[in-house]
Amino acid sequence: MAYMDLMSIRKQYGEGEVAVWAVKGITCAIEKGEWIAIMGESGSGKSTLLSIMGALNAPSGGSYR
């Protein structure tokens, strides 16, 4: 069993025509002791994903454990 499992994590800000998807369907498993790097362009959702992983922000969809 992985130390942290992310399953189809999504995060949306706003609704309707002004909705912005900060994170779209991230799935991964992180094992205990494993080192990872989260890389991407500015505005690609890195900080939002880290906030969800640290339980500071709730995802709009998907699950994690």
Domain count, the chain: 1
Question: At 1, is the secondary structure helix, strand, or coil?
Answer: coil
2-32: per-residue pLDDT in tens?
899 999 999 999 999 999 999 999 999 999 9
For residue 38, how many other CB atoms are within 10 A of its CB?
A: 13
Sheet of strand 4-13, all strands in order from the earlier edge strand to the far edge: 20-30, 4-13, 61-64
State the pLDDT at residue 19.
95
Domain ranges, residue 24: 4-64
Say what the pTM is.
Answer: 0.87
